[in-house]
Structure 1
Amino acid sequence: MPEATVPDNAPEHCPGTESEEAGKADACAGCPNAQICATAPKGPDPDLPVIQKRLELVKRKVLVLSGKGGVGKSTFTTQLAHAFAADPIKQVGVVDVDVCGPSIPRMLSVTEERLHASASGWQPVYASDNLACVSVGLMLEEEGDAVIWRGPKKNGIIKQFLRDVDWGDEGLDILLVDTPPGTSDEHLAVVSSLKLAGIDGAILVTTPQEVSIQDVRRELDFCRKVGIKVLGLVENMSGFSCPNCHKASDIFPPTTGGAKALASEYSVPFLGSVPLDPRLAHCCDRGQSFVEEWPGTPAALGLGKVSQGK
């Protein structure tokens, strides 16, 4: 039995979630997941080879994670996508798996568009010639409609995004997966669905203050437990860059050293800092590329540094 089928919090002698004895063995007595394991399909997931085939032309698959909400993860994802797409020969895709809070369509200014199916699969919505996205927000009748789904339905739509979306005959240079905060159903669904297709790594986004840093520690532990390589940490909202006087000030003081100290502690790369800039928020509201609208600003330079891996 593969070790990966045994959850970390499983009781002793757990038979594994893919075993025919899952949820039925003596060791399962008292486990809160016993009923789920007993009724879930057994054996390897037949969709995994299909997802692997679908994504074989995607050169890099990168998760964007954050330990808590409000750190600007979706803002960072969209602006990083714009930074990659600034190179016209690169094809960039964004999968929004924040099912209950899909903000990517607004930030890419495609809220009036809808996903539709064709003979080759679901067609992503294009924000520009070389930047496409898929999101639950592109399936709603109204942008403000609430998505009230339980775990299995959320997991199902995430699997469909990875299995059924047609990214074109030439594939993608990079696929960014924007996740919700924390380490929950959506994250596990992405990791399990990409088991064969592979994940190149994860970028973790935090803000400088300790309350955010502590949550990123949990995210780092999640990556370690599920075997995802951490490509690096990004410190978002790293000081405030005044567009008038051009002076910087710390809105969220890094009382314990911020992301740079955390990266050093865990021996992972520190990819850079992106300071607060009100013009960045305006660009996201309008679906604009900040690096194109305001080149040379500290925030644009920070985003460019991360996209270039420097």
Structure 2
Amino acid sequence: MSADAEALKTLLPEDAKRRLSTLLERQGAVTVVLDAGGLDQLGRDKLEIAVKAALRGAEGVSEVRVALTADKAEPAPVPRNGPRIIAVGSGKGGVGKSTLSANLAVALARLGLRVGLVDADIYGPSQPRLMASEGRKPTAHDEKLVPLDTQWGVRMLSVGNLVEPGRAVAWRGPMAGGALGQLMDAHWDNTDVIVIDLPPGTGDVQLTMVQKHKPDGAVIVSTPQDLALIDATRAMNFFEQTRVPVIGMVENMSGYVCPHCGEESDPFGHGGAQDMAVKGGVAFLGHIPLDLAIRQESDAGRPPAAGDTAQGQAFMAVARKVADWLEQTA
């Protein structure tokens, strides 16, 4: 914790100070993760209000976010007989998280699981294009959304299917959290696992997710270069601090084979995410190559994991490890 964070910690009331797990700062935004185990809802509300009041107005603080977690022994918000939830996250955008989410969902379905896919990237939904569902709108039943069926055996919901294509989603945090709630509380009947494509970073959507729809585990996606790995470390720390197990890391855009001459190169480096996984004590789930075919098939709404190409097998290898983890932790 930085010196500035230590100074901010002294502003907390005594009960909050005892429960403080971690304080993360970035560009004036402060995220406080507190252990609220043993508190009822009124106590949790009072604690959140007290922390925000103590930090609001402090020098250099422009925004305060509070996440309240509970002891592992406390029941998770999602019943254990409900679908398992796998969050796919990254510390920054542009690392291929949405592509990995779509192909992980398709690959898990090919392995025999009944899979749902939630596009929680509220401000930049990509799954309608990746899953060939653009222009389709879900229906509602008993005031809950009914997920869309896809030709890949995956049911899905995305804000991109609820708003006009190309329209900017200009929602504040509470509205984004409300949208996430509608996607998660839909009719996911007879679903074994839900893959959640999270937005980059550790903002409001992620906080809402861990508070109200606690994932069973998280997959971290990163490209090999140092800048992406720094942000991936933040994402990993976020899940660890909120007691969401990190299933492992995936290195995307890992190696490139020239389609003309066959020469191999590493424009983004190679092995950085694998090294980070080893240092962080988490599993390494696999390499996904930087491949023109993956981009072309994704743009056309044909997830490579649906086929038996080399690109599809790379995603299948990741899915098998995730499926093994799901079985071992059932």
Q: Report if TM-score (shorter chain) is over 0.5.
A: yes
Partner of 1:306: 318
Letter in 1 for 2:56: C
Q: For the residues of structure 1 that align with 2:141 and 2:266, how far apart are their CA atoms?
A: 50
After TM superposition, give the deviation of residue 98 of structure 1 in Å.
0.5
Q: For the residues of structure 2 that align with 1:119 and 1:262, how far apart are their CA atoms?
A: 46
Residue 67 (1) aligns with residue 91 (2): yes
Matched ranges for 1:243-258 at <5 A: 243-254=259-270, 257-258=271-272
Residue 259 (1) aligns with residue 278 (2): no
Higher RCO, 1 vs 2 (CA within 8 Å, ≥6 residues apart): 1
Letter in 2 for 1:137: G
Q: For the residues of structure 2 that align with 1:3 and 1:301, how far apart are their CA atoms?
A: 49
Partner of 2:171: 149
> Which digits, 9 at most, give the CA deviation of each residue in 1:222-278, with x for residues without a partner?
112111111000000001133454442111124xx5111101111110111010111
Q: For the residues of structure 2 that align with 1:251 and 1:263, how far apart are their CA atoms?
A: 21
Q: Label 1:209 to 1:129 Cα distance change in 2 as closer, same or farther (>3 A).
A: closer
After TM superposition, give the deviation of residue 126 of structure 1 in Å.
1.2
Partner of 2:151: 128
Select the residue among 164, 167, 170 that pairs with 2:188.
167
- Which secondary structure does the structure 1 equivalent of 2:99 belong to? helix
Partner of 1:85: 109
- Which secondary structure does the structure 1 equivalent of 2:255 belong to? strand
- Which secondary structure does the structure 1 equivalent of 2:78 belong to? helix
- Structure 2 regions of 5+ residues with no counterpart? 1-14, 24-29, 37-42, 325-330
Partner of 2:231: 215
Letter in 2 for 1:62: I
Identity, % of aligned positions: 33
Aligned residue pairs total 285
Q: TM-score, normalising length from structure 2?
A: 0.76
Letter in 2 for 1:80: L
Select the residue among 228, 246, 250 that pairs with 1:230.
246
Q: Is the 8 A contact 1:120 1:166 kept in 2?
A: no
Q: For the residues of structure 1 that align with 2:232 and 2:203, how far apart are their CA atoms?
A: 14
Q: For the residues of structure 2 that align with 1:120 and 1:28, how far apart are their CA atoms?
A: 36
Matched ranges for 1:97-116 at <5 A: 97-116=120-139
Letter in 2 for 1:172: T
After TM superposition, give the deviation of residue 108 of structure 1 in Å.
0.3
Letter in 1 for 2:300: R
Residue 18 (1) aligns with residue 44 (2): yes
- Structure 1 regions of 5+ residues with no counterpart? none
Letter in 1 for 2:161: L
Letter in 1 for 2:187: D
After TM superposition, give the deviation of residue 2 of structure 1 in Å.
9.3
Q: For the residues of structure 2 that align with 1:187 and 1:11, how far apart are their CA atoms?
A: 11
Q: For the residues of structure 2 that align with 1:162 and 1:121, how far apart are their CA atoms?
A: 10
Q: For the residues of structure 1 that align with 2:173 and 2:296, how far apart are their CA atoms?
A: 33
Post-superposition, which runs of at least 4 consecutive aligned residues in structure 1 deviate over 6 A? 1-5, 14-17
Q: Is the 8 A contact 2:117 2:196 kept in 1?
A: yes
- Which secondary structure does the structure 1 equivalent of 2:252 belong to? strand
Letter in 2 for 1:166: H
Q: For the residues of structure 2 that align with 1:205 and 1:258, how far apart are their CA atoms?
A: 12
> Which digits, 9 at most, give the CA deviation of each residue in 1:270-302, with x for residues without a partner?
111010111111111111131344x241x3222
Q: Is the 8 A contact 1:94 1:177 kept in 2?
A: yes
RMSD: 3.4
Residue 57 (1) aligns with residue 52 (2): no
Q: Label 1:260 to 1:57 Cα distance change in 2 as closer, same or farther (>3 A).
A: same
Residue 177 (1) aligns with residue 196 (2): yes
Q: Is the 8 A contact 1:15 1:22 kept in 2?
A: no
Q: For the residues of structure 1 that align with 2:48 and 2:77, how far apart are their CA atoms?
A: 25
Q: For the residues of structure 2 that align with 1:190 and 1:178, how far apart are their CA atoms?
A: 11
- Which secondary structure does the structure 2 equivalent of 1:234 belong to? strand
After TM superposition, give the deviation of residue 4 of structure 1 in Å.
10
Q: For the residues of structure 1 that align with 2:294 and 2:151, how far apart are their CA atoms?
A: 19
Partner of 2:6: none
Q: Is the 8 A contact 1:11 1:28 kept in 2?
A: no
Partner of 1:268: 282
Q: For the residues of structure 1 that align with 2:299 and 2:31, how far apart are their CA atoms?
A: 47
Letter in 2 for 1:146: A
- Which secondary structure does the structure 1 equivalent of 2:100 belong to? helix
- Which secondary structure does the structure 2 equivalent of 1:238 belong to? coil
